[in-house]
Copies of this chain bind each other. A is one copy, B any other.
Amino acid sequence: MVRVGLLGCGNVGGALVQLIADRGHEIEARTGVRLELAKVAVRSIARKRPVHIDEELLTHDAAEVVSDPGVDVVVEVIGGVEPARELILTALAAGKPVVTANKELLANHGAELFEAASAGGVDLLFEAAVAGGIPIVRPLRESLVGEEIRRVIGIVNGTTNFILTQMTEHGTSYAEALAEAQQLGYAERDPAADVEGFDAGAKAAILGSLAFGAKVVAGDVYHEGISNVSTTDIDFAKRLGYVIKLLAITELVEVPDGPAEVAVRVHPTMVPVSHPLAGVRDSFNAVFVEGAAVGDLMFYGRGAGGDPTGSAVLGDLIDAATNLRKGTHAEVISLVRRPIRPIDDLLTSYYVNLDVVDRPGVLRAIAEVFERHGVSIRSMEQEDTDDGARLILITHEAREASVQATLGDLRELDVILNITSVLRVVGSD
């Protein structure tokens, strides 16, 4: 029997309690471990909950749950940095395994927590912190530990993926799609954490840490959100055989005469319709992993929601409990310091859509700007419009800074009426 101390009993905590109640016998039959809920820290004891919990298990005092000698394993689902960090460090120092779903904490203090787990000789498991119910943390930590991972690309925010799917499939405007997401409970009243890419950025930092064994924190992540993506962008993307997705991208970049650098960023991106990530619709998440030997992998599923996230927590909890019984723990994560590659130095392919005046020499003038900055054009389409012409360009991979300088110079060019849209392109090389 393993006694579980639960910190927080909202959506995810409630789902976990229900799953333990429903699946406890089956889990015991399969693994020999009986999970027993020993103590639950909640904000309000009186509050009605959709799941039944013995009132005597409830307490306001999270620290009491952690220090209770009747608690063998701690599950933290309160979220946020403090007091979660303090509570988890206390549990680990006391030799109690911890399961957490806390992306914000891991993305800011992962290295400290991993070291504490290592020092305590116990498990710190966090499958639910990235992409909810999708098993991605365990495959990266275990199955792929010997693999040379080159790049990880994730659709790791369900809210923005829902909004972009609505815009793509129903022609909805950004504002309408956001309102719909809010109505369905996918987006918060203040949607900034989702739509500006902060949430995806935290997950990108965790993915980068796991994939490259490197210290990557939320502050290292360059991010742009989707609030500037227009239906015009989406329509042109579609015409060219792309869809627009908010991607979290982290890769290891070899540097001549120096240590490899970790690049990590979040931005709206054009993805070819034939790419597996293009088919990830609605609020689903997916993590695409590019390995040297294993090739391309993708892990797809529900990135949020009480039940899927609760299921991921439960998987970790069973693992922590069986390890505890056997007196062992998962391989510890030790992170090395690697330089973070500045966004300016990243190589990206760009899509650029320009309204221009229709007269001889325009194309030459534009091509000259690209050439001056060493940005090579991969494809170009020109078409007439009512008041001039439209140029649709896709570049080869070029340094971000060079593309930005090119765009700056293009803005100065009097033959250009409007830069309609500019988007990065991934996955079509």
Contact = CB atoms under 8 A, between A and B. Distances in A.
Interface stretch (A139-147, A189-197, A407-415): A139-147
A138 interface: yes
Say which size band chain A's interface belongs to: 35 or more
A135 B127 CA distance: 15
Contacts of A296: 284, 300-302
B27 A315 contact: no
B311 A133 contact: no
A334 B28 CA distance: 12
Interface stretch (A274-282, A375-383, A388-396): A274-282
Interface in A307-359: 307-308, 310-312, 314-315, 317-319, 322, 326, 328, 331, 334
Contacts of A314: 146-147, 293
Contacts of A22: 148
Contacts of A26: 146, 148
B145 A30 contact: yes
A21 interface: no
Residue of A139, A145, A146, A294 most packed against chain B (CB within 10 A)? A146
B148 A144 contact: no
A23 interface: yes
A293 B315 contact: no
Contacts of A279: 276, 278-279
A216 B212 CA distance: 39
B133 A297 contact: yes
Given A19-B293, A138-B143, A146-B23, A300 B301 contact: no
Interface string A23-40: 100110011000000000
Interface string A286-301: 1000010111111111
Given A138-B138, A331-B31, A146 B19 contact: yes
A64 B23 CA distance: 46
Interface in A1-37: 15, 19, 22-23, 26-27, 30-31
B294 A27 contact: no
Give the number of times this chain occurs in the complex, counting copies.
Answer: 2
Residue of A291, A296, A300, A326 most packed against chain B (CB within 10 A)? A300
A326 to B, nearest CB: 5
A300 B298 contact: yes
Contact of A147 (B134, B278, B291, B315): B315
A146 B326 CA distance: 18
Interface string A128-159: 00000111001100111111100000000000
A213 interface: yes
A300 to B, nearest CB: 4
B133 A142 contact: no
A322 B331 contact: yes
A329 to B, nearest CB: 9
A135 B295 CA distance: 12
A284 B295 CA distance: 10
Nearest to A336: B29
A142 B148 contact: no
B308 A295 contact: yes
A295 B301 contact: yes
Given A23-B146, A31-B331, A135-B143, A301 B308 contact: no
27 contacts: A15-B293, A19-B146, A26-B146, A27-B145, A30-B145, A30-B334, A31-B145, A31-B331, A127-B143, A135-B297, A138-B138, A146-B311, A146-B317, A146-B318, A276-B279, A276-B300, A278-B279, A286-B298, A293-B311, A293-B314, A294-B302, A295-B302, A296-B301, A296-B302, A297-B300, A297-B302, A298-B300
Given A127-B143, A135-B135, A138-B139, 5 more contacts: A19-B293, A133-B294, A135-B139, A274-B281, A293-B310
Interface of A: 15, 19, 22-23, 26-27, 30-31, 127, 133-135, 138-139, 142-148, 213, 274, 276, 278-281, 284, 286, 291, 293-302, 305, 307-308, 310-312, 314-315, 317-319, 322, 326, 328, 331, 334
